[in-house]
Structure 1
Amino acid sequence: MKCPHKAHVAVVDGTRFVIMRNKGQVFEPKLETVCTPNLETTNFSAGVRHQDDAGQRLGRTDLNELAHAAAATEWLNQQALDGKIDQLLIISDPKTLGEMRRHYHQELQQRLVGEIAKAVAHEPVPVIEKVLAVN
């Protein structure tokens, strides 16, 4: 995946959210951690879609994780609206990414340079850089 120089990279899953910036080149990313926002998970709107009792008991749906994805997206939306993010690439596990897409603001969508559906939020930075370089 082409990750432009100085583009922000959001690495997200149901419990972790890290903002990085590419200090390297397009095909040789070098990520630097910018911040780890402290999120308030108050948006449990996914609960409307995930009321299947069997899914809850079997652990297929965790509303707290989906609320974390919504909170991360709300944070990113605000950064885009405030002009603090020009280019953004999101790396997230498929379930979290699916929930995030439901909350994208139009301004954030215009700033997206890509999405990678991979669970790497708890991996070290060199592994994340490798994922960027090969996808």
Structure 2
Amino acid sequence: MSIRLKHDLWVIVADGEKALFLRNEGDTKYPNLQVVQEMEQENPATREQGTDKPGRYAEGPRSAIEETDWHRLGKERFADDIADRLYKLAHRGDFDEIVLIAPPQVLGEMRQKLHKEVCDKVKAEIPKTLTNHTVFEIEKLLQAA
């Protein structure tokens, strides 16, 4: 897969807790990704969010109710927030093309939530976790892709 980092291409790098909205201020030969916006969400592990032991069904002593995965729900909500933000930006005409980079699970969540107006502008999806990389490292990885 070849990704052309043309001028004004937007790159969204996300995971379940952080999203970077980057725009290429440079061109295909000399990309220059700049941070347009950052989103963050506090999403501690489920064990830190739950308060009680799992509930039990009335039928018997060993019929525990599965504990809610608050961490996973937080990631799903954050994917919703990213999709909403992208829709507003697309509707305003802020970008013509975007590349989505996120871990496979988050990418799947985002894909389900994206409005058609945004989906039509997605030029590539990369199933990787790059939120802890510098913008420079992201540029280099995209050029190599």
Q: TM-score range by the shorter chain?
A: 0.7 to 0.9
SS of alignment partner, residue 125 of structure 2: strand
Any idea what the Cα deviations from partners look like across 1:105-135, whole Å, max 9, x if unmatched? 1110111121111100121112111221111
2:83 to 73, 87, 102: 73
Any idea what the Cα deviations from partners look like across 1:53-112, whole Å, max 9, x if unmatched? 3794xx9x6110121112101110121122222221111111110100001111101111
Question: 1:95 corresponds to which letter in structure 2?
Answer: Q
Contact 2:18 2:39 in 1 (8 A): no
Task: Say what the alpha-carbon RMSD is for the aligned residues.
Answer: 2.5
Pair 1:12 & 2:22 matched? no
Distance (Å, rounded) in 1 between the aligned partners of 2:40 and 2:96: 21
CA distance change for structure 1 residues 124 and 97 in 2, over 3 Å: closer, same or farther? Answer: same
- Structure 2 residue runs of 5 or longer lacking an equivalent are 42-64
Any idea what the Cα deviations from partners look like across 1:6-28, whole Å, max 9, x if unmatched? 11111111000111111232254
Distance (Å, rounded) in 2 between the aligned partners of 1:84 and 1:100: 19
1:53 to 51, 57, 66: 66
Contact 1:8 1:85 in 2 (8 A): yes
SS of alignment partner, residue 113 of structure 2: coil
Question: 1:2 corresponds to which letter in structure 2?
Answer: R
Tell me which structure has the larger Cα radius of gyration.
Answer: 2
Distance (Å, rounded) in 1 between the aligned partners of 2:89 and 2:4: 22
Question: 1:35 corresponds to which letter in structure 2?
Answer: Q
| Count, aligned residues | 121
- Structure 1 residue runs of 5 or longer lacking an equivalent are 40-51
Q: Report the TM-score when normalising by structure 1.
A: 0.77
Question: 2:14 corresponds to which letter in structure 1?
Answer: V
2:130 to 116, 120, 126: 120
